[in-house]
Structure 1
Amino acid sequence: MDRTSAPRTRRAPAGAAVLRDDVTAAIRGAVFAELAAVGYARMSIEGIARRAGVGKAAVYRRWRSKLPLVLDVVSAVASAGLPTPDTGSLYGDVRMLLEITSRALRHPMASQIVPDLLAEAARSPEIADALREALRESQDGIARAVVASAIGRGELTEGTDVAIAVDLLAGPVYWRLAVFRSPIGRAELDRLAAATVAALGAAHDA
């Protein structure tokens, strides 16, 4: 047999750890479950490993401690962001974003994790910077797309403040659901969407 024609199997270098994707996914899922169950302060690598069904070494091969682990996992999810709506009208886009945001914040796990991480951010500049960067980047991209589409349709004028748009799109729903923990119905979301559209137009005039 011609040895030169035989298929070759590439081997990992001796001593190199092969990080299995399914194990990484299990650890990421365990991080969110632990954050929701016990919060960041009480969360431990041991608890994450136990919930993921892996040894502590599997976690430490990927992250050196719980802080970079949480920053990595949370930033990845936040950066994925919300879908950018394209309903054909500014009101429709705003209404869809408010609906999606409210559903996300009503999720049992999110309702526990978000307030806890924001509280930790007040004590940890690293957590604060990671959350700010990931959330702002995601929300800015959506707001810019929504504003640009509205300008193209003549619903908003050039120079509409994107930063104001981010605050108007995210702030009221977060305040209601995450701070007051009070339900917000469809009729209220309709009124909030109409008020947000009016406020975006008024913000540029002001």
Structure 2
Amino acid sequence: MNKTAIPTSRRRPGGPVLQEDVTHALRTAFFEELAAVGYGKLSLEAVARRAGAGKAAIYRRWPSKRAMTAELVSQVAIEAIGTPDTGGLREDVDRFVRDSLTALNHPIVSKIAPDLLAEAARNEELAQTLLARVRDSRRKSAARIIHRAVERGELPPGTDVELNLDFLAGPVYWRVAVVRVSVDDDYIDRVVTKIVAAMKA
């Protein structure tokens, strides 16, 4: 941070003023620690130490490790992949696929996403939290692409939105996170063509 900059602050309702530079440091430290050790071994003490802050600074912002994980992961998941409105279905799908690839190929995301999925299979409370904060929000946001296509007449009324959301997100995640095969522009063009064709079928 620039030495001349004045740290900003915010106040949670009924709570203390929270300095944004400390929040940012904790957020960065959380993702670095999560990528390094995984959710199961992650401790709030280690996050605070990595951020150069006290553990109390975490508890002023998040009541638990699960709450911290849910809020920060959901923020990144929603911010990383938007719902572009280019005016055409194919173009929207193309942008969504490219944004998804960029997010999944991020060095930290590529480590924490599989770990959180595996942990969620063992930890029902974490699973329900991530489903509510990440999956449901992401799918609701991505559904706008399909709804807009219906409004433009590119997809018929009564289009199965839930099924099309699986077509939209599934192939890219499978390719990058599961089989771990490289992706180039030719693959993107072909998979976008298939996704759009499946939506229209």
> Is it true that 1:158 corresponds to 2:157 in the alignment?
yes
> Alpha-carbon deviations, 1:109-146, whole Å to 9, x = none?
10001000001100111221122222222222222x21
Runs (4+) of structure 1 exceeding 3 A deviation are none
- Name the count of aligned residue pairs: 187
Q: TM-score, normalised by structure 1?
A: 0.84
Q: Which has the higher contact order (CA 8 A, sep 6+)?
A: 1
Question: Once the 2 structures are TM-superposed, how far is the Cα of residue 17 of structure 1 from its aligned partner?
Answer: 4.2
Question: Once the 2 structures are TM-superposed, how far is the Cα of residue 79 of structure 1 from its aligned partner?
Answer: 4.0
Q: Which residue of 2 aligns with 1:186?
A: 185
> Is it true that 1:149 corresponds to 2:151 in the alignment?
no
Q: Which residue of 2 aligns with 1:170?
A: 169
Output the CA distance in 1 between the equivalents of 2:137 and 2:25. 27
Q: Which runs of 5+ in 2 are unaligned?
A: 1-10
The answer as to whether partners of 1:140 and 1:162 remain within 8 angstroms in 2 is: no
Output the CA distance in 1 between the equivalents of 2:115 and 2:29. 16
Q: Which region of structure 1 is more displaced relative to structure 2, 118-127 or 148-157? A: 148-157
RMSD of equivalent CA atoms: 1.8
Q: Which residue of 1 aligns with 2:20?
A: 21
The residue identity in structure 1 corresponding to 2:39 is: Y
Output the CA distance in 2 between the equivalents of 1:65 and 1:153. 45
The answer as to whether partners of 2:81 and 2:103 remain within 8 angstroms in 1 is: no
Q: Which runs of 5+ in 1 are unaligned?
A: 1-11
The answer as to whether partners of 1:27 and 1:49 remain within 8 angstroms in 2 is: yes
Percent identity, aligned pairs only, is 49
Q: Which residue of 1 aligns with 2:84?
A: 85
Q: Which residue of 2 aligns with 1:47?
A: 46
Q: Is the partner of 1:19 in helix, strand or coil? A: strand
Q: Which residue of 2 aligns with 1:139?
A: 139
